[in-house]
Structure 1
Amino acid sequence: MRPAVLLTALILASGAAVAGVTNPMQPSPLWDDMRLAVIGTEEEPPTDPAIFDLDAPPRADNPALVPVRITQPPGAPAIRSLALVVDGNPAPVAAEFTFGEALMPLDFEVRVRVDSYSDLRAIATLADGRKVMAGRYVKASGGCAAPAGKSMDEVRATMGEMRFRQAEDAGRQIGTLMIRHPNFSGLQRDQVTLLTIPAEFIQTLEVKQGDAMLFTMDAGISISEDPVFRFAHTPGQGPVTVHAEDTEGRVWDQSF
């Protein structure tokens, strides 16, 4: 390789390593069209990894179970709410979250469906009202129509069951909450009858420790089947309680 070409390659490799991003967001006409409706302004929120970042795989192993992790560095300003958006999905706003003080700095993980190659972005609202954005471009397709992982009989028998486990890391509790629910998107087919399954998903979720709110979620069709939430939080007083409601009016409450 000629010296000039080698030097150019080394510079490009060094720049990529410094950036540390293998799948940055791409220009998105879909986002340009929906920005005002989603965040209430045409102004593009800045990206700032000193406030928060979003990590997702460049190419998803399973488009119906794409992991998304949102993190903040120590000392970053508190995030009060966050909209998670998958630009190419039929219903792009996957969920809107609010976070309590105990979750700051944020380390939060959830799994989503991705229906086509798309930017996956989070728009955070800080305590002072500023909006900041982070995201990744994810290569995945078909996640919203992917068949359910269980039979309909098993779905009905286990719906609403919850599991919760806690671990400790660097003085913080790491909670992992799993809820049994098919979260049908309205785009899937029953594998026996081949009829379309109506949309049916967990719409609202509240997680507390004692009287303190840890986080809430208002969701759409893009949160995965059997949703799992992993979150770091400052230890508090009292049990962790979960309140979930789905689009059919079913309600589940559990204390751990």
Structure 2
Amino acid sequence: MFATIELRNPLVAVVLFAFFGSALPFPVWAQNAGPPESTTWNSLKGDVFEQKSIEAANGIVTIDAPKRAEDAAIVPVDLHFKTDAASGRIKAVTLIVDENPSPVAAVFKFGPDAGVTHLATRLRVNAYSYVRAIAETEDGKLHMAETYVKASGGCSAPAMKNTDEALANLGKMKLRVFPAKTMGLASMTRATEMQLMIRHPNNSGLQMDQVTRYYIPAHFIQGLTVSQGNRLIMSMEGGISISEDPNFRFEFDAKPGEDIKVEAADTEGKKFRDEWPLESSGLQESKPRI
């Protein structure tokens, strides 16, 4: 039987708790520790959305990301959108990484009849952080989904390619159209899935050149437009949190017989564009048209 000890001195209680508490197996502490409070977000949201009210997602937008990232420089993030009559069309979504030096990773806007229901990309995460997706519906309401990601150092991680190689391939694009359930363009009138890859270092300004030991200036894709014919599918305003060699996978309502066009611009004023015929499958690579 254990004796009951009354601790009248708070300092003694703290010391004893630290001593005996440290003897507990580490997993007990880890299992009981949940994500921290959103203190950064509370001070950040007014700067991004002013005084607009932000509601819970309620299934209108969902976000998936690994709880512990394997590589903080390329953290996969998946967004899904519900676009029924009750919730209304989603016209824009803002991706935010609370603890990044530049928290707003990207703002995506969707065409009025694009029917985008899924969007995936890769982000840099600089410290343990909430990652948020704030969707704006046609009625102007904001709906937020969030997840907590354990990763650190993503914004300062060295580039995967050396400078010469990155510049030699700057702006090259690959477009992949995933096969429809029924082959042929006639079947590709709903929910076509596509993946766009752009060769670009997307330097954050926080990375160090491993040879010179100087910081590499920020240089990233800041504007992107994807369209089919004259119809906007989506546009993006990006920042330093989008990973090297930006990669976007999205699902939208396609129209048969119209080409896919992509235009991009980076922070040094370079512009890249290309277009591809809409096909049911295949991986097509282009040289940038600058």
Matched length: 232
> 2:151 aligns to what?
140
Deviation at 1:130, TM superposition (A): 0.5
> 1:57 aligns to what?
66
Shift in CA distance, 235/195, structure 1 to aligned 2, threshold 3 Å: same
Deviation at 1:69, TM superposition (A): 0.8
Matched to 1:179, the amino acid is: I
- Calculate the aligned-residue CA RMSD, in Å: 1.6
What is the percent sequence identity of the aligned residues? Answer: 43
In the alignment, does 2:51 pair up with 1:31?
no
Shift in CA distance, 97/105, structure 1 to aligned 2, threshold 3 Å: closer
Structure 1 unpaired stretches of 5+:
1-23
> 2:15 aligns to what?
none
CA contact (8 A) 1:46 1:133 kept: yes
Per the normalisation by structure 1, the TM-score is 0.86
> 1:179 aligns to what?
198
Matched to 1:38, the amino acid is: V
> 1:82 aligns to what?
93
CA contact (8 A) 1:26 1:137 kept: no
Deviation at 1:167, TM superposition (A): 1.1
Residue number among 113, 128, 138 corresponding to 2:124 in the alignment: 113
Moved more, 97-106 or 132-141: 97-106
Structure 2 unpaired stretches of 5+:
1-33, 182-189, 277-290
Over residues 122-165 of structure 1, what are the superposed CA-to-partner deviations in whole Å (9 max), with x where a residue is unaligned? 11110011110011000000000000000111011001000001
Deviation at 1:50, TM superposition (A): 2.4
Q: Give the Cα–Cα distance (whole angstroms) in 2 for the partners of residues 233 and 138 of structure 1.
A: 28
Matched to 2:119, the amino acid is: F
Residue number among 242, 248, 266 corresponding to 1:246 in the alignment: 266
Deviation at 1:55, TM superposition (A): 0.8
Deviation at 1:52, TM superposition (A): 1.4
> 1:100 aligns to what?
111
Deviation at 1:205, TM superposition (A): 0.4
Matched to 1:138, the amino acid is: V
Per the normalisation by structure 2, the TM-score is 0.76
